[in-house]
């Protein structure tokens, strides 16, 4: 099959769960014998990048603003796919790009149109009223025009049933099993030492909750300074059209040398930051099924996570939940794991075993291919449920 991936910023993934999802899934689809074209934005994908892991990369322009970047890039991608690639499958990633899913349904009726509903984007704090309205329309489009709609978490499946009276197909995000040693040389530029820091890895947008973590970290230092006197907090990530929020975080951390902002990191440096952490914190209050949490678990790390339904699908039994937004509870959870490293190690080991058995990208790729094939054989618009 010819498969076009539309809506992501691009690959190789520098940051963002959707980009990681597309790179991991597309790589495996290619290995299974399919031809995969991945569209990426010129500001994200390095010039001259034509192939990644056997996938064809097409760079498209966009209007690089918070409101128009995704939709304009997706429009160029749809046009190129229809005129040049003519794929068997148009796979839209995200409810914003799904606004355009009607185009191949109308003008390429023999093709299969699939949308992956990665998260309830309209709930994210960075969006204003008009953007939230358009993202809700995108949700409706994801169900109205797609041959089948993939939901990345069971919580999103329930949301679709309750909000729209329709059924989506649950196919989660995944992980690639990891076995890697810590490289102190890659941590040194940030002033970090192996197993002497805790880490949060995420885009610095309000709903990810970095501000909650910084407040909790300050509280930890007040309540139990001796326990964390040699421990640092590493916040790994950068702005996503949220420069004002990033400045707010830096202001909150001003004068506290134990808080380290690394900016966006990729590849070997990111692996080193995962590997060298004592444990991880994920205070996000809005997710699909967070790839960051799955990856943190795959590194054998205990994860302290806000108790939203999507994250609790993986972290309720194999992580350390805390009430979302509750600074006191988060501080208590951090203190407990700092004091008891054996507990943190045991939780991390159980978490790794769990995600390796339940959330492997190889299995997810086979499920996705099965979804493509069954929709190629049924009338357009019929939703199938796994």
DSSP 285-349: S--SS-HHHHHHHHTT--EEEE--HHHHHHHHHHSEEE-TT-HHHHHHHHHHHHH-HHHHHHHHH
Same domain, 105 and 253: no
Q: Please give the pLDDT value at position 263.
A: 95
Same domain, 294 and 368: no
Same domain, 235 and 194: yes
Same domain, 343 and 198: yes
Same domain, 80 and 220: no
Q: In this structure, is residue 384 part of a structural domain?
A: no
Same domain, 162 and 201: no
**Over the stretch 52-76, which tens digit does the pLDDT of each residue have?**
999 999 999 999 998 899 999 999 9
Cα separation, 44 vs 108, whole angstroms: 28
Cα separation, 352 vs 380, whole angstroms: 39
Q: Please give the pLDDT value at position 124.
A: 66
Q: Please give the pLDDT value at position 180.
A: 81
Same domain, 364 and 352: no
Q: In this structure, is residue 386 part of a structural domain?
A: no
Cα separation, 285 vs 119, whole angstroms: 12
Same domain, 95 and 118: yes
Q: Please give the pLDDT value at position 383.
A: 39
CA distances in angstroms from 93 to 8, 117, 146, 162, 269, listed in the order given: 6, 7, 12, 22, 27
Domain count, the chain: 2
Q: In this structure, is residue 159 part of a structural domain?
A: yes
Same domain, 127 and 245: no
Q: Please give the pLDDT value at position 304.
A: 98
Q: In this structure, is residue 44 part of a structural domain?
A: yes
Q: What is the CATH number of the domain that holds 253?
A: 3.40.50.2000
Q: In this structure, is residue 29 part of a structural domain?
A: yes
Same domain, 212 and 340: yes
For 150, residues 6+ apart whose C-beta sits below 8 A from its C-beta are 114, 115, 116, 117, 168, 169, 170, 171, 368, 371
Distance linking the first and last C-alpha atoms of the chain: 21
Q: Which residues of the chain have pLDDT under 50?
A: 378-386
**pTM score:** 0.86
Same domain, 100 and 130: yes
Q: In this structure, is residue 381 part of a structural domain?
A: no
Q: In this structure, is residue 24 part of a structural domain?
A: yes
Greatest Cα pair distance in the chain: 66
Q: Please give the pLDDT value at position 122.
A: 67
Q: In this structure, is residue 383 part of a structural domain?
A: no
Same domain, 169 and 206: no
Structural domain for 284, as ranges: 184-358
């Amino acid at each position: 099959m010819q498969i076009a991936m539309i809506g992501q910023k691009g690959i190789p993934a520098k940051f963002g769960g959707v980009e990681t999802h597309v790179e991991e899934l597309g790589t495996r689809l290619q290995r299974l014998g399919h031809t995969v074209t991945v569209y990426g934005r010129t500001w994200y994908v390095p010039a001259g990048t034509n192939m990644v892991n056997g996938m064809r990369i097409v760079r498209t322009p966009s209007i690089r603003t918070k409101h128009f970047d995704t939709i304009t890039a997706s429009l160029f991608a749809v046009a190129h796919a229809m005129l040049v690639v003519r794929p068997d499958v148009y796979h839209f990633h995200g409810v914003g790009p799904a606004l355009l899913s009607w185009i191949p349904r109308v003008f390429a009726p023999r093709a299969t149109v699939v949308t992956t509903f990665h998260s309830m984007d309209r709930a994210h704090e960075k969006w204003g009223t008009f953007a939230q309205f358009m993202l809700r329309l995108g949700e409706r489009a994801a169900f109205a025009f797609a041959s089948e709609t993939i939901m990345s978490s069971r919580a999103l499946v329930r949301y679709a049933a309750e909000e729209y009276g329709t059924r989506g197909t649950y196919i989660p995000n995944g992980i690639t099993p990891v076995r890697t040693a810590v490289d102190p040389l890659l941590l040194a530029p940030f002033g970090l030492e192996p197993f002497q820091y805790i880490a949060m890895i995420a885009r610095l947008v309000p709903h990810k909750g970095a501000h909650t973590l910084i407040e909790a970290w300050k509280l930890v230092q007040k309540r139990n300074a001796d326990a964390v006197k040699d421990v640092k907090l590493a916040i790994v990530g950068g702005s996503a059209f949220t420069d004002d929020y990033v400045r707010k975080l830096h202001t909150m951390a001003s004068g506290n040398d134990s808080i380290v902002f690394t900016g966006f990191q990729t590849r070997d440096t990111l692996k080193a930051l995962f590997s060298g952490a004592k444990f991880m914190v994920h205070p996000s209050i809005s997710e699909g099924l967070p790839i960051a949490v799955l990856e943190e678990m795959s590194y054998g790390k205990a994860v302290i996570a806000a108790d939203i339904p999507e994250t609790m699908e993986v972290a309720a039994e194999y992580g350390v939940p805390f009430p979302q937004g509750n600074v006191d509870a988060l501080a208590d959870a951090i203190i407990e794991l700092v004091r008891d490293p054996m507990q943190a190690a045991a939780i991390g080991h159980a978490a790794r075993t769990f995600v390796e058995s339940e959330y492997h990208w190889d299995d997810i790729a086979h499920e996705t291919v099965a979804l493509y094939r069954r929709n190629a054989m049924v009338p357009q618009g019929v939703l199938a449920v796994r």
